Amino acid sequence: MPRFVLSWLALAAASACIIIPPPESKHLAEATFDFAGGSITGGALTVAFPEGAVDLGTTLRVTIDLAPRAPDGYLQDVYVVSPAGTTLSVPVYVTYQFDEAAVAGVVDRDALYVGAVAGSSWQPLDEQRQDLARFKIQGSTARLSVFGLIDPARLPQVDGGTQDGA
């Protein structure tokens, strides 16, 4: 085989192995909060910080990004609200605005909830409120986390029930 053909084959094989890193993650939203509160929306998720959620005299920079992975059971996108794990003085309200296509196959829409990742499973937020006519579900939490719209019927079965105990 001519030398240039071998060189070309080697070059083609080497170029097939080039790894292109993914683009750097870009925040869907970014905001800074203080004692006065406010809200941030990224994708389908809105987090409302009431007055006093952030301690007086401090500020908190918050970002919303798409989560790279999450436990099974979610519909549509899952979002990381950072700094994840931050505990707030007053619970925030997390609202998930979903689209009709995301829930088209859901048998029991009344069972849907906004959940936060806890270890390797989903936990419902407190004070769940549904406005299914407007495709919104809201819950409250005092901890920033990974949030998603959860269908209990899609959760893996654990010990005879779903992972959230339903």
Q: Can you give the CATH number for the domain in which 107 is found?
A: 2.60.220.30
Buried b (16+ CB within 10 A) or exposed e, 22-33: eeeeeebbebeb
Q: 136: domain range?
A: 25-162
Give 65-108 pLDDT, tens digit per residue: 999 889 999 999 999 999 999 999 999 999 999 999 989 889 99
Q: How many residues does the chain have?
A: 166
Return the H-helix or E-strand segment holding 76. strand 74-82
In a domain, residue 110? The reply is: yes
In a domain, residue 20? The reply is: no
In a domain, residue 43? The reply is: yes
In a domain, residue 39? The reply is: yes
Q: Which is more confident, 157 or 119? A: 119
- Whole-angstrom CA distances from 12 to 6, 19, 20, 53, 138 are 10, 14, 16, 57, 53
In a domain, residue 75? The reply is: yes
Give 116-149 pLDDT, tens digit per residue: 999 889 999 999 999 999 999 999 999 999 999 9
Strand 146-150 vs strand 45-49: parallel, antiparallel, or unpaired?
unpaired
- How many distinct structural domains can be found in the chain? 1
* Cα three-residue angle 108-111-116, rounded to 5 degrees: 135
The Cα–Cα gap between 70 and 67 comes to 7
Give 6-46 pLDDT, tens digit per residue: 443 443 444 343 433 344 556 899 999 999 999 999 999 99
In a domain, residue 6? The reply is: no
In a domain, residue 80? The reply is: yes
**147: nearest Cα among 109, 117, 113, 112:** 117
- Predicted model pTM: 0.79
In a domain, residue 1? The reply is: no
